[in-house]
């Protein structure tokens, strides 16, 4: 069973807007189609249905606003057959449902859209390295410490990425010089120490120990107790499972 959010300017029940919902086991929450409240706090749900039967212009504005917020669930527009001729890709919706759609079609479209979104999120996570509270995105060359972006140079980013990929593993300065700077780099190992010092400064006093020093050996990435393991972690069941 999925949780669906129905946004409408009507006072009708969800089963009057999309009758097929009366034959499906999903939980439907109906809210006014007011963008201001939703931008601040969109209730948890598996999909958002927008009622566009009578006010397509209003529905278009709402779907565009919701899309700009980075909504993480499928956005589906419910409309009559006459509305199909005006719907455009720039409305930001994932799919449309006619009010006359049967329960099998509604269920299939919800399942396919949530499944597609789950795959897209998995593809995005494939580029992300997570070690403790540190998140490194190889695709965008960005790094974060919790919710705080880290302003790193290219080599600082590469150094953090390399260490975070192997939490707990100790690297000598010579290894880091070869693997991060390259075998054709002719500088000394002092370069590694300088970059580690700068990286620690950007992590801040409370987090500088994430880059640990192993005396007379080198450096390693240290995950604080209770911070979790590295790499992508998905703790909730995929939306596709909730629709089965």
| DSSP calls for 24-93 | S--EEEEEE--HHHHHH-PPP-SEEEEE-SS-HHHHHHHHHHHHHTT--S-EEEEE-GGGGGT--GGG--
Distance CA 196, CA 41 (A): 40
Q: What is the pLDDT of residue 189?
A: 84
User: Which of residues 117 and 236 earns the better pLDDT score?
Assistant: 117
pTM > 0.85: yes or no: no
Report residue 14: phi and psi, to 5°: -60, -35
Please state the rounded mean pLDDT for residues 57-75.
88
State how far the Cα of 1 lies from the Cα of 164, in Å rounded to an integer. 38
Q: Give the domains, in start order, of the chain with CATH numbers.
A: 3-125 (3.40.50.2300), 128-221 (1.10.10.10)
Question: How distant, in Å, are the alpha carbons of 159, 186, 208 from that of 182?
Answer: 12, 9, 25
Helix, strand, or coil (residue 58): helix
Q: pLDDT grade, residue 244 (50/70/90)?
A: very low
Which of 71 and 150 is assigned the larger pLDDT?
150
List, as one string, the DSSP characters of 120-142.
HHHHHHTTEEEETTEEEETTTTE
Name the average pLDDT for the chain.
85
Looking at the predicted structure, is the pLDDT value of residue 40 above 60?
A: no
Q: Can you give the pLDDT at residue 231?
A: 47
Confidence of residue 240 (pLDDT cuts 50, 70, 90): very low
DSSP 220: E
Determine how many CB atoms are found less than 10 A away from the CB of residue 150. Answer: 18
The model's pLDDT over 205-222, given as tens digits with 9 standing for 90+, comes to 989 999 999 998 999 999
Asked if the model's pLDDT at residue 235 lies above 50, the reply is no
β-strand 27-32 against 3-8: which pairing, if any? parallel
Per residue in 82-111, pLDDT tens?
Answer: 999 999 999 999 999 999 999 999 999 999
**CA proximity to 176, closest of 219, 118, 125:** 219
Residue 171 has pLDDT above 50, yes or no: yes
Predicted local confidence at residue 242, as pLDDT: 43
Structure confidence at residue 120 (pLDDT): 63
């Amino acid at each position: 069973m999925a949780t669906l959010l129905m946004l409408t300017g009507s006072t009708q029940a969800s089963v009057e807007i999309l009758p097929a919902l009366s034959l499906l086991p999903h939980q439907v929450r109906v809210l006014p189609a007011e963008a201001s409240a939703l931008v601040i706090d969109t209730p948890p749900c598996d999909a958002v249905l927008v009622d566009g039967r009578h006010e397509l212009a209003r529905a278009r504005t709402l779907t565009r606003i919701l899309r700009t917020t980075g909504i993480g669930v499928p956005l589906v527009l419910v409309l009559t057959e006459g509305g199909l001729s005006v719907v455009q890709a720039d409305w930001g919706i994932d799919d449309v449902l006619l009010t006359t759609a049967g329960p099998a079609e509604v269920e299939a479209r919800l399942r396919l859209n949530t499944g597609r979104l789950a795959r897209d999120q998995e593809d995005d996570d494939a580029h992300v390295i997570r070690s403790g509270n540190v998140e490194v995105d190889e695709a965008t060359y960005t790094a974060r410490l919790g919710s705080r972006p880290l302003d790193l140079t290219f080599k600082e980013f590469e150094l953090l990425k390399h260490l975070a990929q192997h939490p707990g593993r100790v690297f000598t300065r010579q290894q880091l010089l070869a693997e991060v700077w390259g075998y054709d780099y002719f500088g000394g190992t002092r370069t590694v120490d300088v970059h580690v010092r700068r990286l620690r400064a950007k992590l801040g006093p409370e987090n500088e120990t994430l880059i640990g020093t192993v005396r007379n050996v080198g450096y390693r990435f240290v995950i604080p107790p209770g911070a979790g393991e590295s790499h992508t972690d998905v703790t909730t069941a995929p939306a596709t499972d909730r629709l089965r």
